[in-house]
A and B are shown apart, each in its own frame.
Chain A
Amino acid sequence: MRLSKLGVGLLSSLVLGLLITNPCCLADQGEEILRSAVNAPFHTDFEGIMESVFYTPTKTYTFKTKIIYQKSNFVYIEYLEPARIKGKIIIDNGKERIEYTPVNNKIDKLSSFASPKIEKIKQKALGVMLNNFEISRLSREVMRGREVYVISLNPRYPIGPLLKLWIDRKTYLPLKKEKYKPDGRLSSLLCYVEAKFGEHFPREIFYSKLPKIAANEKIEQDLFYYSREEIKKRVNFPLSFPAYLPPGYIFQGGEIIERERTVKLIYTDGLEVIILFQRPYTDILMRKNQWIKWGNLRVRFKESPHGKVFTWNKDKKTFVLIGELPLEEFVKIIQSIK
């Protein structure tokens, strides 16, 4: 009897062990963790200081930000470093987003990024990302005294970035993020250097940090995304679209900005975003740029901390293309624009 009980026990432990270590099971767990992590910031009481490092071929940029999440749908962001952006404050209360810039002592009011509308967009983007990235749970670790899941997002296409996330096991809040370029080089590292969970503050404290100046209301104008056909009808100049898109990318929507004079076409693979701007001919001021010539087309190019920036003129229009992709992909996109 005892022997048979022992055998059953051993067998069940073996099955459990296999289930836990099974990569498919871990992959499913990874997906579940990521799904929970997308909305976690809006349902957590948290205060932390995030250090963000961005690597470019020529320079490394480091930023420090104080981030406070409060249940529910409240975000407070204060920029601490570098000096030139110190003091900038963003408050998002789920209804509106208030941005204060001390350099020009200006307050802008925009639509909330924690609104149901944005949540819908995020869910759609999540679906796109799950198609383009293989999500796997790598391990469990302890970070600053808290247990975290380490998950990895591996691109299904060779042009995508590789992402590693450290997600808090209790709250599903991402605490660390490493992003690698397709060639394996680290492109950015974001990590909380200080983190306190369960801290709750009265919201008035945050609003009192804003100066008493009139806000520039932009709520009615932004966050309207049109389909290709809709946006064509809404502008008074002929629109061009790229015939080629990098694998995994889809058209997410179009916006009209700059007093109805600029069209912004948004493409995404769920993780990265490519934006194609176009407007009637305009002189674009861009410093530290270099010229690239492809056939008859002369394109100005620069590498910024968050991606590559291209601008050129064609058919009495000015185009700007921004994104984080290998150069060859941008060449294909630009040449296919009709």
Chain B
Amino acid sequence: MRCDWFKKNLSAYIDGEVNFLTRWRIKRHLKSCTDCYKDYIRLKNLRKISKIILLKSPEPGFYERLQAKLPRLSPNITLKKTGSLAKFWMLLPLPGKLAIGGVAILILFLLVIYPHLSGSSLNINKFEEEYLRSKEIFSVVEEPAPPLLLVSEER
């Protein structure tokens, strides 16, 4: 028996779809041809694995039952709005996206970074210097400025 014929009928043999005579001839060939026997084992294992995978898949009607159990979406839910925003962003050309990004960065800069650059945060030394200056003016017996620079310690 030729191996080609065997390979042609191997799949049907494993599935049990061949007649008695063909099955007998294949059995006989398997005993005499090592290569075909190996092919037979490989295909048989493959079938086993595919059967396991098939068993893991949900039972028929599973999705229908799940759908029935899920809460129905309220018509008031603003899914449409979010969708439209996302859609708008997707449809926006690149220069538009860049412009919006630039504006966002500018706002962030004005709110977070600029206050620090423009001196919105002050060092306590400034207040201490003012205090010592006033003390020299308003206190009757204050020496001229000796302690004025004590505050510079922290600079």
A-contacting residues, B74-112, CB 8 Å: none
Residues of A within 8 A of B67 (CB): none
The answer to whether A283 and B147 touch (CB under 8 A), given A275-B134, A322-B131, is no
- A153 contacts which chain B residues (CB < 8 A)? 141
| Size bracket of the A interface | 35 or more
Map CB proximity to B onto A247-265 as digits: 1 under 8 Å, 0 otherwise.
0000010010110000010
> Which of B39-47, B55-63, B121-129 contacts the other chain?
B121-129
Tell me the nearest residue of chain A to B127, going by C-beta: A320
- B155 CB, nearest partner CB in chain A, Å: 8
Chain A residue nearest to B149 in the complex (CB): A85
Question: A85-B152, A284-B122 are contacts. A67–B144 as well, Cβ < 8 Å?
Answer: yes
Cross-chain contact B152 with A84 (CB below 8 angstroms): yes
Q: Are A257 and B122 interface neighbours, CB within 8 A?
A: no
Q: Does B132 contact A (CB under 8 A)?
A: yes
B137 on interface, CB distance cutoff 8 Å: yes
Q: How far is the CA of A306 from the CA of B139 in the complex (A)?
A: 13
Which residues of B are found within 8 Å of A277, using beta-carbon distances? 127, 130
- A322: chain B residues at CB < 8 Å are 127-128, 131
Asked whether, in the complex, the Cβ of B124 is within 8 Å of the Cβ of A306, the reply is no
B146 contacts the other chain (CB 8 A): yes
In the assembled complex, the Cα of A238 lies from the Cα of B144 at a distance in Å of 35
**B132 contact from A77, A270, A285, A306, Cβ within 8 A:** A306
Q: Which residues of A contact B145 (CB under 8 A)?
A: 65, 77, 90
B104 → A minimal CB distance (Å): 24
A226 contacts the other chain (CB 8 A): no
Q: Is the CB of B149 within 8 A of A306?
A: no
Q: How far is the CB of B98 from chain A (nearest CB, A)?
A: 33
* Minimum Cβ distance to chain A for residue B126 (Å): 8
Query: Is A113 a contact of B147 with CB atoms below 8 Å?
Result: no
Q: Give the nearest-CB partner of A273 in chain B.
A: B135
How many angstroms between the C-alpha atoms of A320 and B135 in the bound complex? 16
Q: In the complex the two chains form, what is the Cα distance from A177 to B144 in whole Å?
A: 13
Alpha-carbon distance A92/B124, docked complex (angstroms): 26
- Bound-state Cα–Cα, A13 to B54, Å: 131
A174 proximal to B (CB < 8 A): yes
Per-position 1/0 for A32-52, Cβ under 8 A of B? 001001100100000000101
Q: For A77, list chain B residues within 8 Å (CB).
A: 144-145
Q: List 10 A-B contacts (CB under 8 A).
A: A52-B146, A54-B150, A257-B130, A264-B134, A271-B140, A272-B135, A273-B134, A273-B139, A285-B124, A288-B154
Identify the B interface with A (CB < 8 A).
115-116, 120-124, 126-128, 130-132, 134-141, 143-147, 149-155
- Partner-B contacts on A (CB < 8 A): 34, 37-38, 41, 50, 52, 54, 61, 63, 65, 67, 75, 77, 79, 84-85, 88, 90, 92, 103, 113, 118, 121-122, 125-126, 129, 153, 163, 165, 174, 177, 188, 190, 223, 252, 255, 257-258, 264, 266, 268, 270-273, 275, 277, 282-288, 302, 304-307, 309, 311, 320, 322-323
